[in-house]
Structure 1
Amino acid sequence: MNEIKIKLGSNNKGFINLYEDKTRIGEMIIGIDDFVLSVYHTEVDQNYSGKGYAKLLLDALEKYATENKYKVKPLCPYVHAQFKKNPSRFESIWQKD
């Protein structure tokens, strides 16, 4: 069973972590400044690659940003590529400057 956990430190830097059976298999490194959520890096354990787990992290990011009214600055190459590939999906949360 997959589980997503979002952890932010006191400096508003943190992670969106993906777990399978209590084992962390993926993470997105994030930081929040005012109402802009920056995504720096996305990584999935190589033993789990190609199974759609990065998309689960992206879906969790989209939901979290929408619920908290954050704009997302996609500095991570994976996230940026997905935003460019699906601009209408991410239009409401995409911080383009």
Structure 2
Amino acid sequence: MQFQHHNNAEKGEFFLNDAEGQRIAEITYVWRDASTIVADHTWVDDCLRGQGVARQLLDVLVEYAREKQLKIVPVCSYVDVMFKRDQSLLDVAA
């Protein structure tokens, strides 16, 4: 899966569109400061449920944070649960 990324000075998102250009999955974040982002929303369309897409989105966000040396505040309930379950994500947890 090839996720797209949109980012500006205030917020950003990783997302997936279907062949018709309709959004079918996304994880969004808001910039808190120059070194911290707040993961505030994860959504996956029913057509993709059960395929691990939410985790793939989180992995892309975590990879981005590691590359940019950012910390993530997990406000989104999915991200919060995954940060508690998976110790390998703690290096980017704020």
Structures share a fold, TM > 0.5? Answer: yes
Identify which range, 44-53 or 20-29, moves more after superposition.
20-29
Please give the per-residue CA displacement for 1:8-50, whole angstroms capped at 9, x wherever unaligned.
13x4212111245565320011112220011001000111111
Residue of structure 1 in register with 2:84 after alignment: 84
Give the one of 18, 33, 38 matched to 2:16: 18
TM-score, normalising length: structure 1: 0.85
Identify which range, 75-84 or 14-23, moves more after superposition.
14-23
| Identical residues among aligned pairs (%) | 30
Residue of structure 2 in register with 1:93 after alignment: 92
CA distance in 1, matches of 2:62, 2:68: 10
List runs of 5+ in structure 2 lacking aligned partners.
none
TM-score, normalising length: structure 2: 0.88
CA distance in 1, matches of 2:38, 2:67: 16
Q: Secondary structure at the match of 2:92?
A: coil
Give the superposed CA RMSD. Answer: 1.5
Please give the per-residue CA displacement for 1:45-66, whole angstroms capped at 9, x wherever unaligned.
1111111100110110110000
Q: Which structure shows the higher helix fraction?
A: 2
CA distance in 2, matches of 1:13, 1:94: 18
List runs of 5+ in structure 1 lacking aligned partners.
none
Indicate conservation of the 8 Å contact 1:3/1:19, yes or no. no
